[in-house]
Amino acid sequence: MALEQQTPPFVELRGVSKFYSGVRALEGVDLSCRQGSIHAILGENGAGKSTLIKIMSGVVRPDTGTVSVAGVQHQFNKPADAVRTGIVSVYQELSLIPDLTVAENISISDPPRRFGLIDSRAQTRRAEALLARIHCEDVDPRAVVRDLSLSRRQMVEIAKAIGKAPELLILDEATSALTSRDVETIYRVLDQLRQDGVGMLFISHRMHEVEALCDTLSVFRNGRHIETFAKGAHGQDEIVKLMIGRDIVHQFPPPPVPQERKPHLVVEGLRWEDRLHGVSLTVGKGEIVGLGGLDGQGQKEFLLALFGVLRGVSGTVSIEGRAASPSSPADAKGGANRIALVPEDRKTEGLMLPMSVADNLLSAAYDKVLRGPFIDPEKSRRAVADAIAKLQIKVARPDDAVATLSGGNQQKVVIAKWLMTDPGLVLLNDPTRGIDVGTKQEIYQLMRNLADQGTAILFYSTDYAELIGLCDRVLVMYDGRIVTELAGDEATEERLVAAALNIRSTDTPREGARQ
């Protein structure tokens, strides 16, 4: 490429690896970023994109390998070190402080001073100038960030980053919260920055944005850098193939013969805030339905809405033909609803870590072990022993604190705890994340057994192989809607990835089947 000869790389990574407790996040990555270029990083969930960014911006240190900026090798101990060399990040999770004003936020790390004190007038002027630069004059620098919409906050975040005079600007999903008008503005701003010689790393799940903005693309997969190429060198289908590659094959229980099923859960037009835009679906008795799509497309919110955690949900939900709109988890698990939710974060939502395995197992199903108003010790002991045996939880004594168990066994405790409530509908939020392969397979088998006994299962996973191998049907969500339904053999990695990116793969069936 002629382009690559023009400028020497500004940031250069050599042999960078990062492992989290033995699990590969990045391995042997070489990557160069040039000034005056917009460089897209593409990859599935867990491909290592966020780790890459964290290393470049000084949030985490690589286990091995080097990071050089403008030819000089650096070791970043904290984000401020990276900023000093000109690497500035705009994060997906906003880093603004809600109770401070826009101007205060923009200048938070290095405010203009007069006689040693912060010069608030200069600070406001600076904010005005930066906001004007990104065509965001409608934001008042004196407004408190809390009062701004998500899209405006994101713009303030970008203004803050530009204010640090970046040489390389990292945009991690920076456009995901923007309205389409703001996206247009940002395109122009980024283009201007490119002409000014700023380099940019652009991480986005939106293929059309990548196509419109970037000149260089790099694909990551399973923590490895697969290929870097100029825009136009590969078509969309080829890019998707690069992102998937060949993966480890999981062992899944054989799926049952497709059949007509009596509907258990019927959802029509579920809406909540700006995260769910009318979700409709049906889950039959004994059916495992997968929820797919990229992270953050409303899957988690959808499960929480069904479980009665969210306020202000509209739309209709019925279970076995009866209207069901639980107002709390207590309501959702009880009565005729019989819903169980294995939550996303087992450490804060699933378990009470200092308490014993027995207490945790019983915590959702005390009504099953009561005698009168009191907890019956004998019934409890038997129920706990049953659950431990059924899920083969490896624990020396049921009285041990659950914090002493391994991650996989903790997850088994969460699942067992909910199975003790005898649910009719089980919602699972990425239940196999961060656990070992052996336990994963036990959980797959358990889910299939449950389904065979007539339980309806709705299963969100970030692992495409699971969705394909385990589910009877897969529904792919994008931007708070279900955009694609793939039944049985229709579910392939290509189609799932294409649907997750909301691009029309040439052979995607039933496009938008359940809008």
Residues in contact with other proteins by CB under 8 A are 21-22, 307, 309, 328-334, 341, 343, 348-356, 359, 362-364, 366-367, 370, 373-375, 377, 394-397, 399, 401, 404-406, 409, 417
Which of 108/355 has CB closer to other proteins?
355
Six-digit token pair at 23?
């699990």
Beta bridge partners of 281: 267
Which of 241/390 has CB closer to other proteins?
390
Nearest distance, CB of residue 381 and other proteins, angstroms: 13
Six-digit token pair at 348?
């804060």
Nearest distance, CB of residue 346 and other proteins, angstroms: 9
Which of 71/372 has CB closer to other proteins?
372
Cα distances from 181 to residues 90, 107, 404, in angstroms, run 19, 26, 51
Nearest distance, CB of residue 372 and other proteins, angstroms: 10
Residue in 379, 377, 390, 384 with CA at minimum distance from that of residue 362: 384
Which of 226/401 has CB closer to other proteins?
401
Look-up of token digits 């970046």: 166
Query: How many angstroms separate the CA atoms of 334 and 100, rounded?
Result: 43
With beta carbons less than 8 A apart as the criterion, state whether 217 and 40 touch: yes
Query: How many angstroms separate the CA atoms of 214 and 236, rounded?
Result: 14
Residues with Cβ within 8 Å of 247's Cβ and at least 6 positions away in sequence, in order, are 222, 465, 493
Which of 420/498 has CB closer to other proteins?
420
Which of 19/229 has CB closer to other proteins?
19
Residue in 285, 403, 412, 404 with CA at minimum distance from that of residue 348: 403
Does residue 271 sit in helix, strand or coil? strand
Look-up of token digits 């089980």: 426
Chain mean position to CA 301: 12
Which of 404/441 has CB closer to other proteins?
404
Nearest distance, CB of residue 14 and other proteins, angstroms: 25
Nearest distance, CB of residue 400 and other proteins, angstroms: 8
Look-up of token digits 């000869």: 5
Nearest distance, CB of residue 62 and other proteins, angstroms: 17
Nearest distance, CB of residue 362 and other proteins, angstroms: 8
R_g over Cα of the chain: 25
Q: What is the 3-state secondary structure (H, E, C) of 176-196?
A: CCCCHHHHHHHHHHHHHHHHC
Residue in 177, 227, 234 with CA at minimum distance from that of residue 211: 234
Q: Phi and psi of 289, rounded to 5°?
A: -110, 130
DSSP conformation letters of 232-258: TSS-HHHHHHHHH---PPPP-PPPPPP
Query: How many angstroms separate the CA atoms of 204 and 181, rounded?
Result: 17
Nearest distance, CB of residue 510 and other proteins, angstroms: 34
Amino acid at 428: L
Look-up of token digits 């699942």: 415
Nearest distance, CB of residue 21 and other proteins, angstroms: 7
CB atoms within 10 A of CB 64: 13
Which of 258/366 has CB closer to other proteins?
366
Nearest distance, CB of residue 247 and other proteins, angstroms: 25
Which of 322/397 has CB closer to other proteins?
397
